[in-house]
A and B are shown apart, each in its own frame.
Chain A
Amino acid sequence: MDHSNKVNRRKFFRQLAGATGAAIALPYIIPASALGKEGATAPSDRIVMGVIGAGSMGTGDMRTFMGKPEVQMVAACDVDKSHREKAKSIIDANYEKSDARIYNDYREFLTNEKLDAVILALPDQWHGIIYIACANAGLDIYGQKPLARTIWEGQQIVDAVQKNNIVWQTGSWQRSVAQFHHAAELVINNRIGKVTHVEVGLPNGTPSQVHNPVQPVPEGLDWDMWLGPAPASPYRGVCHWNWRWILDYSGGQLTDWAGHHIDIAHWGLGLDRTGPVEIEGKGVYPREGLYDVPVEYFITSRYATGVEMTIANARRLEHGMGVCWYGDKGWIHVNRSGIWASDDKILAEKIGDDETKLYYSRDHAQNFLDCIRTRKETITPVDIAHRSISGGLLGEIAMLTGRKLKWDPDKQIFPDDPLANRLLRRPFRSPWKLKGN
């Protein structure tokens, strides 16, 4: 395929959106005469996408987007040969072709591919560098949560995405599910009165301890590239999926799930563009085995409005997994299994036309695609994603320091604890830098 003659598709979408403005109704309607042979969007009008990080999450997202007729998936990048070859076979099988392109190095991927949008599903230590590289390349981004491994990296991602006018959707898909939307809308419209407290129950822990020895790197895995900016470490048989239990790459269940349930908690409170003003927490860190993320965590955050948030292992909370807001007139609890309230009548309440309506989406991927065309904000924009994960990362810092911390959510610093501020950022392993890649 000759990419040099392709129009800058993103520019095309932007111009289209600019010309017709708000007149474009969602979903975007394409004249039947332009439909391709699949009865969908003509190939030339499709949103051209690729994926960086083609593991279980990346290929899952890839399949979701390939299920959209307006998407053309063309390339995959992964530092594991088996991952990228599998991604190619999935793409090729979907289009009954054999021209999907694969890469080991995201820099080559970005240089060679002319994409409209990219799916990013990487271990957390890579988020800062690659998210920003893609934003600077002008690609719209479907980025997996949590936004970043540190608060400072999150801030840099927000800046890059906003500066480049990137349409950003976070993989915080719960916002596009009816019960979460319903729960948050009831709460924000005072159906349980003034909220004083919210409990956020996250999964209980990690898999059992593993004591893996140092071992040869499997063939086809570029381990040094997988580590990227994380500290050098010999391979010990833990890479895909289970990287989540090692602090160099993740904060464990806490940071994995902050982008879901803290995100929803903030949404209902109307606090999703700010953060707490005070945090304290206690974590229990395993002393043996390779995994070092906390298996027990109990965090209390206080917001400027006075509302208090508890974030903890689900089994330590009254309602378990999910979000439970407590107001002076009742409570609402929501998770992936359902929605409950202190009184069923609360759940039957309708939200009036003059009340606060939260962003409506029932298809997270479609919402992203629609916004690529309209250039409007998605249901989970980057700055909200940053505040959702910050709720978890601040808890992590409170546990690591063992101190009650004051937080300035505007300046995003601990005003009176310089040592806690050190934890806002991690130096990268040479030669990786956040800027200039």
Chain B
Amino acid sequence: MKNKIIYLFILIALTAGLSTLPSCQSGSGNKTAYHALIVTGQNNHSWQESTPILKQILENSGLFSVDVAQTPKTGENMSQFKPDFSQYDVVVLDYVGDPWPEETRTAFEQYVSGGGGVVVYHAADNAFRNWVAYNQMIGIGGWGNRNESDGPYIRWKDGKTVRINEPGPTGNHGPQRAFQVTIRESEHPITKGLPKIWLHAKDELYQQLRGPAENLTVLATAYADTAKGGTGGNEPVLMTIRYGKGRIFHTTLGHVMGKGPFPAVECVGFIVTLQRGAEWAASGKVTQEIPDDFPQFNVTSRWPLFRPMNLDEILDQLREYKPGDNRMPEQDLTNLLRGQYNAGTFDEIEDQLLKFIIGNGSAAGKNYVCRELSLYGSENALPVLHKLMTKEPDVAEMARFAYERISGEYSN
């Protein structure tokens, strides 16, 4: 009985668009520019995990209010699944499963061809092999017994998108790993300003997708290394497709299966391209800035909360911090304080940092905060640092480091 109640709660929470994930920073109560609908409910992946994450990501952009349309379970009666697509600026597809009712399919086709926006997320390109219009919308797809009769493979070769008409399997991937994504269309609103190459966090690299690929623009590819079970080709990972007046953004990235953490969707590259892709699909333009901590060619970068951490969250993590842990809270503190100081608002948070270093956090966490105080601390920090120099041996050296830099009185 208890389990049933919990299950029911989760279901309500999901359909009502709530979740147990950290709440979004932008305040979903505010009026947003666009309305998004996530379609979910069946998948060969953990849609119960991925849908709330997608919702968070969209809301965290500050641009979207997000509803969730959840289908019945596999094999159950689908006839009443009739979301009103026309109410939305963008429909995000996180669904692989039973066919929708014809009425719903027609409504969706009309919504898209009439100028609606769509985001095709990861395994959504596995869905609906036999629905012609859907395959035109996703451009290329995989699995579901697709083969050469569904269209050519699409790859990037010699500086352009090529269609490869040859028989062979459709849709597979090597072992999950971090891999480089290369931007191929750097003037498109979605990709403009992104690093040319960035290292995507551990994910599946879809390959050998094929389909009608009409009106399809490859925005980014990833090299599927033969040593890692790959085709040896540059496989599309970010695409846009035009269907009638509709705009479709297709990302093959973002594998979510089982229990978290899910690095593929924590990747700042995934998050930012999804947010930008959704905005473009909804409006044809992109107004979002590219964050400074976007991954680079040889380093991944993740947002475990699907957005940057705030100071309280960073300090909470530093309180538990010990040598050998992921440096993320350290670097995030550095970046945040630089921004605060240069915006003239460091004074407002110095007390919080001083409280932290005399609090009950780990020595490694305190040492890092002392190090940052050495750069920004005012004279107010000196008495606190002086106390640490005499009272806390594990922090004394870094407290002295900060004390000497702030006071300008160096002992060595």
Contact = CB atoms under 8 A, between A and B. Distances in A.
Contacts of B376: 419
A286 B323 contact: no
Interface string A390-432: 0000000000111100000000000000010011011111101
A211 B299 CA distance: 12
Given A231-B398, A288-B326, A430-B397, A208 B298 contact: yes
Contacts of A212: 324
Max chain B CB contacts within 10 Å: which of A233, A400, A402? A402
Interface in B333-347: 334-335, 338-339, 341-342
Interface residues of A, number: 43
Contacts of A435: 412
Interface string A284-303: 11111110100110000000
A205 interface: yes
A214 interface: yes
Main secondary structure of the interface of A (DSSP, over half): loop
Q: Which of B338, B397, B398, B412 has the most CB of A within 10 A?
A: B412
B323 to A, nearest CB: 5
A433 interface: yes
B299 A288 contact: yes
A430 B114 CA distance: 71
B323 A214 contact: yes
B399 to A, nearest CB: 11
Given A205-B297, A206-B298, A419-B375, A286 B331 contact: yes
B397 A231 contact: yes
Given A287-B332, A419-B375, A209 B298 contact: yes
Contacts of B332: 287
Contacts, number: 105
Given A419-B376, A432-B412, A427 B327 contact: no
A289 B299 contact: yes
Interface residues of B, number: 40
A127 to B, nearest CB: 15
Contact of A288 (B300, B338, B339, B404): B300
A434 interface: yes
Contact of A236 (B195, B301, B324, B410): B324
Interface string B294-330: 1011111110000000000000000000011011100
Contacts of A205: 296-299
Given A285-B331, A402-B338, A234 B324 contact: yes
Contacts of A284: 292-294, 296
Interface of B: 195, 292-294, 296-302, 323-324, 326-328, 331-332, 334-335, 338-339, 341-342, 367, 371, 374-376, 397-398, 400-401, 404-406, 408, 410-412
Given A284-B292, A295-B298, A419-B376, 7 more contacts: A231-B401, A284-B294, A288-B327, A295-B296, A422-B408, A427-B405, A430-B400
The 5 A-B residue pairs with the shortest CB-CB distance, nearest first, are A433-B412, A286-B299, A214-B324, A287-B331, A427-B404
20 contacts: A204-B297, A231-B398, A234-B323, A284-B296, A285-B335, A286-B299, A286-B331, A287-B302, A287-B328, A292-B327, A295-B296, A295-B298, A296-B195, A422-B375, A425-B405, A427-B400, A427-B404, A427-B412, A430-B400, A433-B412
